Structure 1
Amino acid sequence: MVFILYLAIILIATKVAGALSVRLGQPAVLGKLLAGIIIGPAVLGWVQPDDFIGHFSEIGVLLLMFIAGLETDLEQLKSNWKASFAVAVGGIILPFVGGYAIAAAFGLSNNEALFLGLLLCATSVSISVQTLKEMNKLQTREGTTILGAAVVDDVIVVVLLAVMMSVLVPAQDVSIGLLIGKKLLFFIIVVAAGWLLVPRFLKWFAPLRVTEAVMSGGLIICFAFSYFAEEMGIAGIIGAFAAGIAVSQTSYKHEVESKIEPIAYTLFVPVFFVSIGLHITFDGVGEQLLFIVLVTLVASITKLLGGGLGARMTGFDRRGSIAIGAGMVSRGEVALIIAAAGLESGLLLQKYFTSVVLVVILTTLITPPLLKLTFKEREQA
């Protein structure tokens, strides 16, 4: 029954920490992330990472991205595709170069430096989504561009990871053509399903004489799209986001959204925020403190500049470009997955694994206050 205690601790810690964060003028999500560090193994040790936390947090991030899809303006997303692509590419090139350079400066091998560069290319939009939502900026042109860029970034980085594993790890035998084909097939099927199947499914499912049929139908679509994305080698959050967009084009959008949000933000999303902090441990950090600080700085600055440059080249003003770059800084769970793959394949040494995880979490902690600052400056201007 320890998981019941974990839930109680997580819920009270995230709500109190979120409220304190708002009082201090920061987004509530920053307090929730810090709560995970405080109640986790790094400080108090009240909550330990386990399968229960893992499963709940995965549902939490899927629901978070499903809600983001529901609230996304599809027409604005279409009109900003060039900007999203430019932001994604800029946010890959500069972090890759910066990551490779800093790894080489610390004496890592060529293969290890290439992998660290690729790891810093990742972007996880889930934290940015929550921050933008709190600031009512999710449906702005900047918010939509960040969402689109994160999707493009995820696809490109996954393909590059497969290429790198096949070239640098002798045991890996990956067909690049098959890999790219699966990504294209995913988007073709998702677009077709969102256009043809989702409206028909909800129209059939909604009248069923059972409790909360519409909300259940929305969850079925969310989880089905997420599972399909994982099977096709794409992060499940992309599938959840696509499911949200598909449902948003139906007449059931507002009913699904109004009933999903209480479940997500009451239980599952708080567990997701806490789970990020649970990965932190300070064992042996002192020996690699310089490495952690410098890699965090490189990861943050290159993503900010790369994403911002892409936005600037596609018509955004200076402050809008900086805000978009700030929204791309968080590496989150996507980079943690890549780090685990690198550790397993030998491209990331065990002694650097904890330090890299800390870098990923630090970039995630930086993002909420950075987003709030950049958007505030833009509004004042």
Structure 2
Amino acid sequence: MPDFSIDDVIIQFAVVVAAALIVQLAFERTRVPGLIGLIILGMLIGPGGAAILPDEPVVELFGSIGLLYIMFIAGVEIDIDQVKDRKVEAASFGAMAFAFTFVSAFAVGLLFELDIWGALLLGAALSSHTLVAYPMVSQLGLAERRPIVAATGGTLLTDTTSLLVLVMIIRAAEGDGGWSWMVPMVSLAALAAAALYIVPRLARAVLSHDLHTFPEKALFVMTILLVLSVLADLIGTEDILGAFLAGVCLNTALHRREDLKQHIEFVGRMLFLPFFFVDTGMRLHLDALQELSTWFLAVILIAVIIVTKGLSAAVTARLFGYSKIEGLAVASLSFPQAAATLAVVVIGLEMDLVDPGTADAIIIVIFVTCLLGSLLTRYSVNRMAGDK
């Protein structure tokens, strides 16, 4: 079999950038999220496919930064100012969405003979959600509507809880018995308290000052992201928690400076995120997709997400007087699995807590839920816009 592997790092970089451009253009024009195409690309050109690219150094480095960046963006995209005004609705939906999905996915994991840690990790992965379709809401001017705020605020709760559960799973899976997992959790709470007090004040001083250029402000944001990620890792938790915390700390400052927020997102989406999705795909194996059990698990997990998050949205709508179409909007926004789900899966693969078949099943779940969630969100928010 011919050897197509590329050793030159510049050529590796060029191949990923050019292929990412072609794939994203092709997929976005079919209304399928480009991240799906990038994951498939990674599967095809990585060690589990044609083996064109090795795991390192280029893809692994940029992919690792991309993992931090995607969690940072997840923290930034939530409009905390609006969530504060609707915290009861947001907390109610988020708590139900997390609890219903976590318990159901954990049970499915045990049913498919995952060990206790693998089943818990599966629950943590799917109990979060990503606001893939949120741009549609913003474009129609519906971001301040009560149901939309409940969905976005619920994301803050589900993603945070999912990542905290991940930390506990990792500590327990590594053999740290008793209450040892409390040490990093207490340290994380102290780090979060300090960061939430210091970083917003620094951000106001740096980002609002006209003497600082756009590149300097962007470097400030990147510094906060990397410093909090490193600190979260040093205290015994995961660097992705620090990245998410950085996004939350800079949330208000960046929402009030939309031009800077767009510039920072542009750099990340152009460079870091494509490498992360390609790197994720390279960790997967095409052979696992040939197994019937992989597809069966994917179908079961998709059903779990639709039922549990649909039920959470329906109960929230009933409690707070949303219309049926508004309830559908809440549900459809919470269907897509991407940011935290991918982060948890990548860590699970690194620690051998999930096998390639389970990881590939989750990738199928991401594909279907992102597509279904986007289509249903487009339908529901267009109906909501027409009812204004």
What TM-score do you get using the length of structure 2 for normalisation? 0.77
Q: After the TM superposition, which segments of 4 or more aligned residues of structure 1 sit over 6 Å from their partners?
A: 165-169
User: Cα deviation per residue 1:291-339 (whole Å; 9 max; x = unaligned)?
Assistant: 3223222322223332333333333533123213313577212233145
Between the aligned partners of 2:215 and 2:54, the Cα distance in structure 1 is 34
Change (3 A) 1:370 1:217: same
Asked if residue 43 in structure 1 is aligned to residue 52 in structure 2, the reply is no
Change (3 A) 1:201 1:325: closer
- Unpaired segments ≥5 residues, structure 2: 1-6, 384-388
Counterpart for residue 345 of structure 2: 335
Q: Which moved more, 1:44-53 or 1:95-104?
A: 95-104
Q: Which moved more, 1:193-202 or 1:140-149?
A: 140-149
Between the aligned partners of 1:191 and 1:157, the Cα distance in structure 2 is 20
Aligned to 2:260, the other structure's residue is in SS state: helix
Between the aligned partners of 2:251 and 2:117, the Cα distance in structure 1 is 35
Number of matched pairs: 363
Q: Judge conservation of contact 1:100–1:117 (CA < 8 Å) in 2.
A: yes
Spell out the pairing of 1:115-130 with structure 2 (5 A cutoff): 115-123=118-126, 128-129=130-131
Aligned with 1:2 (options 5, 8, 21) = 8
Counterpart for residue 373 of structure 2: 371
Between the aligned partners of 1:211 and 1:98, the Cα distance in structure 2 is 46
Between the aligned partners of 1:93 and 1:125, the Cα distance in structure 2 is 10
Q: CA deviation at 1:163?
A: 5.0
Change (3 A) 1:166 1:188: closer
Aligned with 1:299 (options 278, 295, 301) = 301
What TM-score do you get using the length of structure 1 for normalisation? 0.79
Counterpart for residue 15 of structure 1: 21
Aligned with 1:238 (options 244, 252, 258) = 244
Supply the AA of the counterpart residue of 1:200: A
Q: Which moved more, 1:54-63 or 1:99-108?
A: 99-108
Counterpart for residue 286 of structure 2: 282
Counterpart for residue 219 of structure 2: 216
Spell out the pairing of 1:91-102 with structure 2 (5 A cutoff): 91-102=97-108
Supply the AA of the counterpart residue of 2:122: L
Counterpart for residue 3 of structure 2: none
Q: Judge conservation of contact 1:124–1:332 (CA < 8 Å) in 2.
A: no
Supply the AA of the counterpart residue of 2:283: H
Between the aligned partners of 2:162 and 2:337, the Cα distance in structure 1 is 14
Asked if residue 322 in structure 1 is aligned to residue 331 in structure 2, the reply is yes
Q: Judge conservation of contact 2:97–2:309 (CA < 8 Å) in 1.
A: yes
Between the aligned partners of 1:156 and 1:82, the Cα distance in structure 2 is 17
Asked if residue 189 in structure 1 is aligned to residue 199 in structure 2, the reply is no
Spell out the pairing of 1:140-159 with structure 2 (5 A cutoff): 140=143, 145-159=150-164
Change (3 A) 1:92 1:254: closer
Aligned with 2:36 (options 5, 30, 35) = 30
Asked if residue 55 in structure 1 is aligned to residue 64 in structure 2, the reply is no
Percent identity of paired positions between Structure 1 and Structure 2: 18
